Amino acid sequence: MTRILVINGSYRDRGITDQIITTMTEELESAGAEIQTILLRNYPIEFCCNCRECCQQPGELPGRCIRNDAMGELIKTIEQSDGFILASPTNFGTVTALFKRFLERLMVYGYWPWEMNAPKLRKANAAKKKALLVSSCAAPGFFGRWLYGTRKQLKTTAQMIGATPVGTLFTGLVGKEPDQQLSAKQEAKARSLVKKLL
């Protein structure tokens, strides 16, 4: 059974991101996949403190973080997953602070001894898993996808955990009403895209 891990960096219950994730996970479950969803807004992780302790041990396995919080469990789940949906609304041209906090904690996937100028990715040579990148914005989707930094940050997230993006869903023009609902066309797009994960 394919195990898919969903990381949702939206702040809002039943907003556009939640609706897209619900649509995608329904479709995946009906295709027989096992889903685990992490709602970052309810998930107790702290900020990275830039100590780079986790980057000092060599090897392909994630390094040990000095923080003793739920991120340890989440890293284990990432390791056991076959594919990912990485989702965040676009705020001020990039992922939400909530999602960025999660991304910074993925530094355990970098090997970066103090004498090296830049980190090496531990999963660079590992067999690649698949990831879908999901975002939304008030601007038209086309602008969101190409002008903002969100896609790049979601792509970096995939890269850190050893995944290759196999599709991107950027839902635009979502800022028109407080409880905006996905259109039938947007929902169909979300349903069709998840097939790339299986």
Tokens 């998930």 correspond to 43
- d(CA 159, CA 110) in angstroms, rounded, equals 11
**Rule CB under 6 A: is residue 91 a binding residue for ligand FMN?**
yes
Site residues for ligand FMN, 93-112, by CB under 6 A, read 93
**Rule CB under 6 A: is residue 146 a binding residue for ligand FMN?**
no
Instruction: Give the binding range for ligand FMN (CB under 6 A) out of 65-73, 76-84, 86-94, 182-190.
Output: 86-94
Q: How far is the CB of 39 from ligand FMN (least distance, A)?
A: 11
- d(CA 145, CA 148) in angstroms, rounded, equals 6
Angle at 57 (CA atoms; ends 52, 63), nearest 5 degrees:
70
Angle at 140 (CA atoms; ends 137, 144), nearest 5 degrees:
55
Q: How many residues line the site for ligand FMN (CB under 6 A)?
A: 18
Q: Give the residue with the Cβ less far from ligand FMN, 11 or 43.
A: 11
Q: For the sheet with 3-8, list strands across it.
A: 34-39, 3-8, 83-87, 129-136, 163-171
Q: Give the residue with the Cβ less far from ligand FMN, 137 or 190.
A: 137
Out of 92, 176, 177, 184, point to the residue binding ligand FMN (CB under 6 A): 92
- d(CA 176, CA 146) in angstroms, rounded, equals 21
Among all residues, whose Cβ is closest to ligand FMN? Answer: 15
Instruction: Give the binding range for ligand FMN (CB under 6 A) out of 23-31, 106-114, 137-145, 182-190.
Output: 137-145
